Structures are given as structure tokens and as C-alpha cells.
Amino acid sequence: VAENFRALFENYKFHYEGKNFNVTSSIGASLIDTGVVSADEAMSHADLACNMAKAQGRNRVHLYNPDDRDKAGMAEDMGWAARVREMLEHDRFQLVYQPIMSLSTGDVQDYEVLVRMVCTDGEIILPGGFMPAAERFGLIHNVDRWIVARAIHQLATLRENGSQVRFSINLSGKAFEDSILLPTIQRLLKETNLDPALLTFEITETAAIANLSAATRFIGALKDIGCQFALDDFGSGFSSFTYLKHLPVDKLKIDGSFVQSMAQTPVDQAMVQSMNQVAHALGKQTIAEYVESAETLQLLKEYGVDFAQGNFIGKPRDALMNLAPNVATLTRSSADNLITLKVEPLKTEPRLRGES
């Protein structure tokens, strides 16, 4: 029966605005036998089977099987997706801000905006814990829009109160596919009267290369309205330098895997220097991620890298909105000429799960 329904959908075609369209369906089915104790359980099994049909390529039927190898992972993702929906509905995501320091002046004016899921028990889930499920279940565009809207409104409030900060907003790898996101950004900038030059948008190199033409159009459209764009995790791809010529980005964020241990690794030092030189030759600024020590910071300054970001500079925190405009200013230590933050560290660390 389910296969007949699938075939009916597949054979159905309709004509709209001069174009022909066809419809396909993914169908999940569940047997109702003595092992199923309620209608809710049967529906849950069918829902799980439907999502497995989608994961296997769509336009197919999948019958629920308790022994499916991917069942546990799919069920877990469905649980995360439900939590993402709840967070969006009740506005319970949280933004945190990590300082990005200028290595030429020692100033902190830029902050990367990151999202966290805050659970009712106080546990904080990092994006690596819930973003894959949001992407898998079609919620990622809603998360992107929530982050952008909240960040723009908060930055506008900060600027109205005299702060000189700028925001760098992390977008998902699916942002290029969201036809609503760009008009949303334009509308928010108009509503808040915020200078677009105060915003940088970030996307990973891997996501940009995977859809190069869409990435180029999206980046170009944002730059046309006055925003800047940064390529995150630069150097993680196999053909980084080849694709770089085709992406109209303003900044490169050197992948943290090269930076984190570079003080002890000559090869990483050479890689960072090379990426910095190529970026500057193309007129792009550089940001080193995962700066975890004074030695690494000093090397980056010697190499001429433009900005540094990492726990040594400052951990992501939610206190930015409560800080006075000048609280994150920096000074140089007369002892070692290294740059130190005046901001006090958090007294306690929350419980974290996930990545980035």
C-alpha cells in the first residue's frame, strides 16, 4: 500500500508558470503488533522510519525495524531537533561573544558571535551538539535567522549606548540556500539604522567550496550592501589557495589546527606564515584562531598576522552586553611586550557539551 502511494506521487506532475513540476514522497511505515503498546509509540516508529527514508535518498518507503543500524542515531537526532524547535519557539538560545584582538594596536573592537543552547538544568550545549540535527531536519535556516536577528539588534543597542564594538556573525554551511536570509539582513539593517560595515559574516571554507557559485553570489550580495565577509577554518581544505582567488572575502581565519600548537611545531609555523603572506598578497586580512599561549601570540605578531582569537585572548562569554564600552580595552605588558586583557575571567565554568 505504501509503495502504491509513493508511485502515485512520483507519477503526478503539474504545470505552473510555464514550468513542469513533479512530486516525490518519503514514506515511513510501522507494524502495529503485540510489541506496540500505544498509538503514540506506533506514530513515533513511523516518524522515525520516514526520516530514515529521507536519509537514504528520499522518494522511497522504509518499514520500521527495531534492528536498524542507524535507528539509534536517527532517534537521537530527532530528539535534538525537537529541542531546537523548543528553543526557537521559546527564544531560549543564547549568544556569546569571543574577543578578536588587533595585533598591531592591541585593541579589541571585534567580537565573534556564537550560539549556545541553554538547557533547563543549566547545561550549555555547543553548536556541535545540536547543529547537525538542525541541518538534518530542516531547521538550520531558522537558527541562522534567529542568530542574525538577535545579533543585529544587540549590536544596534550597544552602538546607541556609545560602544565601538563590531560583530562577526557565524553562519551555517546552509546559509547560501536560504532565499529569505539576505532580505532579512537588509530589513534588519534598515530597521535598526545600523551601519552594515560594522558586521562581518563568517562561513567555513569547506561550506564555501562545496557550493562555490552560490557562495560567491551570496558573499557578493552581502558586500554590495556594505557588510564584510570572512572565510572560516582557512587551510582545512585540500585546494584552499586555488579557490581563494574566486571568493571575494575580506578576511581569512587561519584554521586553528595550524595555530594551536605552532609554538612547538616548525611545520605549522611555516604554514601559518605562508597563508598569511598569500592572504596579504590578495589584499585580505588574517585572523589566527585557537591562540592558547603567549608564545603563539608573540609568533603571530612577528609574522604580521592582523588579528588573534582564542582562549588566551578571551573565552566566549555572555557578559558583553553588561560591559561598559571601554571594559575590553587592552594594554601592553612592559615585562614581555605581550598583550593582556583587563577583563576578569568567569568565576565558574558551565557544563558544556558539543563542539565550537
pLDDT of residue 205: 85
Separation CA 83–CA 80 (nearest Å): 5
Separation CA 199–CA 184 (nearest Å): 14
Give the model confidence (pLDDT) of 160-193 as tens digits: 988 899 999 999 988 988 999 999 999 999 999 9
All structural domains of the chain with their residue ranges: 2-68, 92-353
CA 329, 189, 127, 79 dihedral sign is positive
Helices 71-90, 140-160: axis angle to 10 degrees equals 30
pLDDT of residue 335: 26
Q: Options 3.40.50.1000, 3.20.20.450, 2.40.340.10, 3.40.50.150; which CATH number does 92-353 get?
A: 3.20.20.450
Within 10 A of 148 (CB to CB), how many other CB atoms are there?
20
Which 8-state DSSP code applies to residue 264?
G
CATH number, span 2-68:
3.30.70.270
| Coil, helix or strand at residue 40 | helix
Give the model confidence (pLDDT) of 233-266 as tens digits: 888 765 567 778 888 999 999 999 999 999 999 9
Separation CA 83–CA 130 (nearest Å): 9
Residue 94 backbone phi and psi in degrees, to 5: -135, 140
Separation CA 188–CA 153 (nearest Å): 8
Q: Which residue shows C-alpha cell 549590536?
A: 155
Query: What does pLDDT average to in each consecutive run of 10 residues of the chain (356 residues)?
Result: 73 75 78 72 71 70 67 59 82 89 91 88 82 81 93 94 92 90 96 97 87 90 96 75 84 94 94 94 95 94 96 83 37 34 36 53
pLDDT of residue 132: 79
pLDDT of residue 276: 96
Which 8-state DSSP code applies to residue 237?
S
